[in-house]
Amino acid sequence: MRIALCQRRTYVENKQENIRETKEMLKRAMDGCNDVDLVMFPELSYGDVTNSRMAAEYAETMDGAYITLMRELAAQYKVNLIPGSFLEKAENGRYYNAMPFIDRQGKVLEKYQKIHLADLAGAKESAFVEAGKELKLVDTEFGKVGLMVCYDMRFPEQARSLTLAGADLICSVACWPMGRVLPPRLSHWDTLTKATALYNLTYFATCNCYGEVKGNYPFGCSRVVNPWGDVIADCSSGTKVTYADIDFEYQKWARQEIATLQNRRPDVYQL
């Protein structure tokens, strides 16, 4: 299967500009390469928020105008779509950082609500965002896809649990780094993206923001890493689209060759 990563900035208080750029980049992704199966955008592509007032303004339900438009675009281009994430209204008056997976017919197959909230380096996501409580694995036309958001990547149990549950591909959307600008944590990004793929012998695709977002500077470097830990596509910096082909037969070979999933010893992992 073929995946396209649409790396772009998020305009904090400009919903219409975010929507315009998403529509433009989706068209560019579909025009730029044949047979694209899945298109991904970064975390909070609809707009990042800095306080509860903005959160209330931006938050929607899964039936709201934003996801309805994303469903229409997926159906129009006949492509599976992860439109980044958005603030979903929670029943308790707070919000989830929610990541939908939309199929070629415009149906929301699944949504993942970010479990690990970014309370680090000066950021406090939990001030108005509710933590999700469930891992999500989506049954798609090309296999099982595990869903993650940004800070989740620092918790290896999540990707491993998705892999053991049958993930053929893990997809993560991100706005990295947020919080204090220095150090930029590019080295962490490089190590963690490769390690997530290599430890789990799985393809790992992650789409990150690029450019200034409320005084922070996410550096892009959206990428796809293969089960051998090799980066096979990388956006580097800037607003751009990159593509990668996912070879599940190669993944089967890598899992047989290295055999860490088969040779696990969960019976001795607890002290």
Quickly count: other Cβ atoms within 10 Å of residue 197's Cβ: 28
Q: Residue 216: which pLDDT band, with cuts at 50, 70 and 90? A: confident
Position 153 scores a pLDDT of: 97
Exposed e or buried b for every residue in 219-237, given b needs 16+ CB within 10 A?
A: bbbbbbbbbbbebbbbbee
Position 159 scores a pLDDT of: 98
Position 217 scores a pLDDT of: 78
Position 152 scores a pLDDT of: 98
> Under CATH, what is the fold of the domain 2-264?
Nitrilase/N-carbamoyl-D-aminoacid amidohydrolase (3.60.110)
pLDDT tens digits, 159-173: 999 999 999 999 999
User: Tokens 């096979």 belong to which residue?
Assistant: 232
Domain boundary assignment for the chain = 2-264
Average pLDDT over residues 69-95: 95
Average pLDDT over residues 44-51: 77
Whole-model pTM: value is: 0.95
- State the chain's mean pLDDT as an integer: 93
Average pLDDT over residues 62-85: 97
pLDDT over 80 (residue 129): yes
